[in-house]
Structure 1
Amino acid sequence: MSSALTDLFSRPIVQAPMAGGVSRPQLAAAVSDAGGLGFLAAGYKTADGMYQEIKQLRSLTGRPFGVNVFMPQPEYADPAVVAVYGHQLAGETTWYDVELGDPDHGRDDGYDAKLAILVDDPVPVVSFHFGCPTREVIDALRKVGTLTLVTATTPEEARTVEWAGADGVIAQGVEAGGHQGTHRDSLDNDAAGIGLLTLLPLIRAQVGIPVIAAGGLMRGAQIAAALAAGADAAQLGTAFVPTPESGAHLMHKQALTDPLYVRTELTRAFTGRPARGLVNRFLREHGPYAPAAYPQVHHLTAPLRKAAAKAVDPQGMALWAGQGHRLARELPAGELVETLTAEIEDAADVLAHGRTA
């Protein structure tokens, strides 16, 4: 499907916006320059921090790019439950010699201030995670020439995205690394994920806007399969983590292919929202007790995660990764886009020959 959105990039590859410092301007620029669509992650940054990264990215590339924004979260978590989890983490504070963060640091992630900047100084694409913005927000961005994407994890969420007027939907399968972009968070979500190749035709049957596939994609053949299943492009995150342009911690990059980490798991241990990461000590010990409380738990554990990174201790870090992490390749981001494109073309040739045989 050709559209204003897909016409922005010549290759069907979108670099996932990974918050926490992974999606640096250098990474987004390299992907966009190679013909994909690079993304900055505004999550966990101040509005000015986001703006400074946009300015830096513009100095690195003249190609289209996107900025991802987290939706504000409703106040539903019981403070007493969060406090209990804080007590559960007492051993971690002793081990890393830090205090827990303030769970009430904020729930909106500077949403309004970031939107004000994005409307005043528009970027080509803005995507939203953890919910769907109002039609008024999407219309305001459209008026200044910005196209919009919203993550959906179910066909129902995808319909909501189309009804709100977004230009495309990111169909996120349960295989995806990092946070699941469910529009509503509850304990029921933990086991409700849909696999990508099942999710794609379900969403394609429900909406008429472009669909971007996300979830465990690491090779061109997988992207080709997603395209055949109804996607217009593919969004990859874990595949770009080990690139030299990525801002991921070295231990995070190395852990993706380290035999010590044999599987991933959805957990609330680090942030209070379901997120897929490599199973390490922190996840095993605290995952069973972590409440549905985002971003309170994120703020609570932030000092612990920073201390673990400073101590070069991957057992205490949030090692976000999709299910295909063992297929990670240490290639420059632009070269990875080129390699994936060649693999997509090879897979398409195989499919074509198979159909005519």
Structure 2
Amino acid sequence: MSLTHTLGITLPVLQAPMAGAQGSELAIAVARAGGLGALPCAMLSPSAMAEELIAIRAATAAPVNVNFFCHAPPAPDPDAQARWHEALAPYYAEFDLDIGAVPEGPGRRPFDHEACDALAPFRPEVVSFHFGLPEAALLERVKAWGARVLASATTVQEAEWLAAHGADAIIVQGLEAGGHRGMFLTDEPTTQVGTLALLPQVREAVDLPLIAAGGIADASGVAAALALGAEAVQVGTAFLCCPESRVSAIHRRALMSEAARHTALTNLYSGRPARGIVTRLMRELGPMSDVAPAFPLATAAIAPLRAAAEAQGSGDFSPLWAGQNASRCREVSAAEVVQELAKGVHEAASVAVNPH
């Protein structure tokens, strides 16, 4: 049985869940176009998640992917927090902000029983996870209502782990992908490789459907991923400038500018490696820094700086998440993006039938 049939979609095109950059509007648009729309829930309260899911269900009967993080909340570390505040103090002074008034907050929440309770009445067709999988009892609850479980792997070892612990399909996330790395068995960025190198290695290692993610933004990228063993693709950056996304005007401008050609992995905005357009903060502190506290505790102290800079029209302190291929970031509808990507499915099928 094909993955598209299993997921209940027409086209093997998945929209990447992008917390903070989109909500139900983008998920609805992709679903209506025949792909799998996604709702990121790592930054949503259970009630906010329910509101978004109600909006999706009112707009379309198509399947939806509801996405969660699976990180372990870190223990408080006052010394680490003090070092972080010290590193950011000059920027606070520049904007005449009080670093002593920084509110503490988790920034991201892992999938837990409260989230599962709120999700259960909606019985989403697909539930996906970043940073591994939830505890067995939670995973069993999700599967009990018939949901298919997807999870991200950034190495062969992570793919094997996911296959052994209950994933139904694996999102093979290459180094090119924007936003947070799905890495969970290691915190060493040098273990990360590109999509086209990782995909065939995972194909040899596990016997599960694979979804390629990272650097795929057009039909040729889709065709290449399918030729290397993926059954579907997951695309994020190419949807960010669509009218259905919720990214800021500052982020949109950056995505469609020359700045989008220079991205890097950084832990400054959350505490975990994530790919975004290089900003002043990343240049001056170094994109990966030992002073950033554990995920997701870096977020709280960045927020006031981001707000102050954005009020002046600057993205110097904003997490401008983007993959390495922002070439297809255009202000076109999400349906048009899906249609463009779908051409790659036909291209791959044509090559398979006429290899010469």
Q: TM-score, normalised by structure 1?
A: 0.91
**Letter paired with 1:17:** P
The 8 Å contact of residues 45 and 109 in structure 1, kept in 2 or not, is answered as no
Structure 2 Cα separation of the partners of residues 296 and 261 of structure 1: 26
Distance (Å, rounded) in 2 between the aligned partners of 1:6 and 1:227: 17
Report if the CA contact (8 A) 2:13-2:233 is conserved. Answer: yes
Does the aligned pair in 2 maintain the 1:177–1:321 contact within 8 Å?
yes
Q: Could you tell me how far 1:74 is from its partner in structure 2?
A: 4.6
CA 70–209 in structure 1, closer or farther in 2 if over 3 Å, else same: same
Deviation, 1:107, is 6.7
Q: Structure 2: how far apart are the matches of 1:120 and 1:244?
A: 30
Which residue of structure 2 aligns with residue 148 of structure 1? 149
Say whether the 8 Å CA contact 2:132–2:162 is kept in structure 1. Answer: no
Contact 2:214 2:323 in 1 (8 A): yes
Is contact 2:152–2:182 with CA below 8 Å preserved after alignment? Answer: yes
Contact 1:133 1:164 in 2 (8 A): no
TM-score by length of 2: 0.91
- 1:323-334 correspondence to structure 2 within 5 Å: 323-334=324-335
Shift of 1:331: 1.4
Correspondences of 1:239-278 after superposition (within 5 Å) = 239-278=238-277
Letter in 2 for 1:27: L
Rounded to whole Å, the distance in 2 between the matches of 1:168 and 1:261 is: 31
Q: Does 1:9 align with 2:12?
A: no
Post-superposition CA distance 1:181-218 (Å, at most 9, x none): 111453xx222211111111111112222111111111
Contact 1:176 1:276 in 2 (8 A): yes
1:32-54 CA-to-partner distances (Å, cap 9, x unmatched) read 00000000110111111111111
What are the within-5 Å matches in structure 2 for residues 308-319 of structure 1? 308-319=309-320
Q: 1:156, CA displacement in angstroms?
A: 1.2
Contact map agreement 2:261 2:324 (CA 8 A) in 1? no
Match status 1:171 vs 2:172: yes
Q: Which moved more, 1:299-308 or 1:143-152?
A: 299-308
Q: CA deviation at 1:29?
A: 0.5
Letter paired with 1:10: T
SS of 2:205's partner is coil
Cα pair distance change 1:184/1:108, threshold 3 Å: farther
Aligned match of 2:47: 48
SS in 1 for 2:84: helix
Question: Structure 2: which 5+ runs fail to align?
Answer: none
TM-aligned CA deviation for residue 178 of structure 1: 0.5
Q: Which runs of 5+ in 1 are unaligned?
A: none
Could you tell me whether the CA contact under 8 Å between 1:77 and 1:293 is conserved in 2?
Answer: no
- Calculate the aligned-residue CA RMSD, in Å: 2.2
Alpha-carbon shift at residue 292 of structure 1 (Å):
5.5
Q: CA deviation at 1:118?
A: 1.7
How many angstroms apart in 1 are the aligned matches of 2:135 and 2:67? Answer: 16
Question: Is the Cα–Cα contact under 8 Å of residues 85 and 291 in structure 1 kept in the other structure?
Answer: yes
Provide Cα deviations, 1:136-195, integer angstroms capped at 9, x if missing partner: 322211111211111111111111211121211111111100000111453xx2222111
Shift >6 Å, 4+ stretches:
none
Q: Secondary structure of 2:258's match?
A: coil
- Aligned partner of 2:181 in structure 1 is 180
Supply the AA of the counterpart residue of 2:16. Answer: A
Match of 1:67 in 2: 66
1:125 lines up with 2:126 in the alignment = yes
CA distance change for structure 1 residues 177 and 241 in 2, over 3 Å: closer, same or farther? same
In 2 relative to 1, CA 323–128 (structure 1 residues): closer, same or farther, beyond 3 Å?
same
Correspondence for 2:196: 197
Offset, 1:93: 2.0
1:162 aligned residue = 163
SS across alignment from 1:327: coil
Contact 2:42 2:109 in 1 (8 A): no
Q: Secondary structure at the match of 1:116?
A: helix
Q: Match of 2:327, SS?
A: helix
Is the 8 Å Cα contact of residues 261 and 326 (structure 2) preserved in structure 1?
no
Q: Is the 8 A contact 1:172 1:181 kept in 2?
A: yes
For residues 243 and 141 of structure 2, the distance between their equivalents in structure 1, rounded to whole angstroms, comes to: 36
Cα pair 1:15 1:39 within 8 Å, conserved: yes
Instruction: Return 331-340 or 234-243, whichever deviates more.
Output: 331-340
Closer, same or farther: CA 109–96 of 1 in aligned 2, 3 Å: farther
Structure 1 residues 308 and 112 mapped into 2: Cα distance closer, same or farther (>3 Å)? farther
| Alpha-carbon distance in 2 for matches of 1:291, 1:284 | 14
- Secondary structure at 1:89's aligned position in 2? helix
Which deviates more from structure 2 when the two are superposed, residues 284-293 or residues 165-174? 284-293
Residues 25 and 56 of structure 1 are in contact (CA less than 8 Å); yes or no, is this contact kept in structure 2?
Answer: yes
106-115 or 255-264, which moves further after superposition?
106-115
Q: By how many angstroms is 1:76 displaced?
A: 6.2
DSSP-derived class of the 2:261 partner: coil
Distance in 2 (alpha carbons) for counterparts of 1:52 and 1:98: 34
Work out whether residues 103 and 298 of structure 1, in 8 Å CA contact, stay in contact via their aligned partners in 2.
no
C-alpha contact 1:221 1:344 (8 A) present in aligned 2: no
**Deviation, structure 1 residue 340:** 1.6
1:74/1:107 contact within 8 Å kept:
no
